[in-house]
């Protein structure tokens, strides 16, 4: 999975109606793109807006970046934003806690090796695996482990 985190600082004279229409259109376009997982938007305490868009792969994110509607939206950015930053990241650990039970979705083989020893021990380690960084409580076991 790849994650695109972006933030914006609006211009004092921003056309917020134009931005609202563009954001809605971009969300509609992105949500039907191959590999799309989700889009979230947050307002930071300092007034900036933060967005997080997730795709299955780098290629999926590149297709989104290069989509004609997305490229066209960038043309309006200078009239709306004083600052716009983007950081693309690749997931090496992906854990989720649902109803008190943890699930390791993706893992880094080097991290597995460091935590649980050789690959030959992976099966037995999976049965008693604990996520040690605090997301899972002591004694809780994973429901599923899927290798990518």
| Predicted local confidence at residue 142, as pLDDT | 33
What predicted TM-score, i.e. pTM, was given to this entire model? 0.66
Digits of tens for pLDDT over the chain (148 positions)? 899 999 999 999 999 999 999 999 999 999 999 999 999 989 888 888 999 999 999 999 999 999 999 999 999 999 999 999 999 999 877 777 777 666 656 555 665 566 656 544 444 344 334 433 333 333 333 333 333 3
Question: Which CATH number fits the domain 2-90, given the four candidates 3.30.70.100, 3.40.50.620, 3.40.50.300, 3.10.129.10?
Answer: 3.30.70.100
| Residue indicated by tokens 């854990």 | 95
Q: Is 48 exposed, middle or buried (0-12, 13-18, 19+ CB in 10 A)?
A: middle
Q: Phi/psi at 121 (nearest 5 deg)?
A: -95, 0
Where in the chain are the domains?
2-90, 92-148
Q: Is 76 exposed, middle or buried (0-12, 13-18, 19+ CB in 10 A)?
A: middle
| Predicted local confidence at residue 121, as pLDDT | 47
């Amino acid at each position: 999975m790849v994650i695109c985190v972006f933030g914006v600082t609006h211009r004092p004279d921003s056309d917020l109606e134009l931005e609202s229409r563009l954001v809605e259109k971009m969300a509609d376009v992105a949500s039907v793109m191959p590999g799309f997982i989700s889009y979230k938007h947050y307002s930071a305490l300092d007034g900036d807006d933060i967005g997080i868009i997730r795709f299955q792969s780098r290629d999926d994110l590149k297709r989104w970046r290069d989509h004609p509607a997305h490229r066209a939206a960038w043309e309006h950015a200078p009239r709306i934003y004083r600052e716009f930053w983007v950081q693309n990241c690749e997931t090496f650990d992906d854990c989720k806690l649902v109803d008190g039970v943890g699930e390791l979705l993706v893992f880094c083989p080097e991290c597995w090796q460091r935590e649980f020893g050789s690959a030959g021990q992976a099966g037995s380690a999976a049965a008693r695996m604990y996520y040690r960084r605090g997301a899972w409580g002591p004694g809780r076991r994973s429901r599923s482990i899927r290798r990518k």
